[in-house]
Amino acid sequence: MLRILDARTGEPVPAAPVRRGFTRVEAHVPGRDTTGLRVLLVADVLVRALELDGTPVWALLTGAGERDGLRVEAAALGIRPFEDGPGGPGGPAASQALHVVPEGAVVSEGATVAVAPADPAGPDTLAGADPYALRLALLERHRSTPVHLDAGVLDDAGATLVRLRRAVAAWARQPSRPVPGEVRDRLRAAWEDDLDTPALLRVLHGTETDPGIPDGARFETFAHADRLLGLDLTREVGSAA
């Protein structure tokens, strides 16, 4: 079961105490900036984790200015659409609420997931950067850790994406094998422990380099994990070698 650290109490709590009951995930994004995008990204990963566990989710965007521009930038990062919030009587009955907020923000009800700031090194740092490289750079740090984004960080993330997509495409040409049980358990343990995406990425790195894992199993492992990470790791499957 996914557990998150509730910023209001400092204690870990179940993300969905009522299993398979509607959960309302509200992303509180005060402005159109990199920190706001990070809040929305964490909310996106949280929604994905809940859905992988079979929990239906109502995803809402609240508090954001310049929503149209924010939505365009979010879509480029692979963040799925969030409805305008707050929720009202027209939406599904949500038996529980999770709020994803910038660090220091306060909400009146429901468990609160706090997200540390993400700041670019300069006004042009993100210009022309691969949005998925930005997504990876943010996922490589736990959401409680502030992120300083510079050209080196984005270049490293971009190079990692290129390498992984090429590897996944090569593995896809081999006979399929199931995700090893131990690896599946470690992946789930990582994301169920407070959405620990850095730990999940470390599990993938170990899978990539473990000589005892067949290539077909590597492919299935990365495809499975990407349902949570949303990095489009299978993009080059079927392309020319």
3-state secondary structure 191-206: HHECCCHHHHHHHHHH
110/215: higher pLDDT: 215
Confidence of residue 93 (pLDDT cuts 50, 70, 90): low
Using 50, 70 and 90 to split pLDDT, how confident is the model at 88?
Answer: very low
pLDDT-derived band at 89, boundaries 50, 70, 90 = very low
Model pLDDT, residue 107: 84
* Identity of the amino acid at 191: W
Residues of the chain within CATH 1.20.120 domain(s) are 123-142+150-235
Which residue, among 98, 88, 80, 81, has the nearest Cα to 22 in the 3D structure? 98
Model confidence over 136-164: pLDDT tens digits? 999 999 999 999 999 999 999 999 999 99
3-state secondary structure the chain: CCEEEECCCCEEEECCCCCCCCEEEEEECCCCCHHHHHHHHHHHHHHHHHHHCCCCEEEEEECCCCHHHHHHHHHHCCCCCCEECCCCCCCCCCCEEEEEEECCCCCCCCEEEEECCEEECCCCCCCCCCHHHHHHHHHCCCCCCCEEECHHHHHHHHHHHHHHHHHHHHHCCCCCCCCCHHHHHHHHHHHHECCCHHHHHHHHHHHHHCCCCCHHHHHHHHHHHHHHHCCCCCCCCCCCC
The tokens describing 16, both together, are 């969905």
Predicted confidence (pLDDT) per residue in 68-85, tens digit: 888 999 999 999 999 987
Q: Which class is domain 123-142+150-235? A: mainly alpha
State how beta strands 83-84 and 57-62 pair. parallel
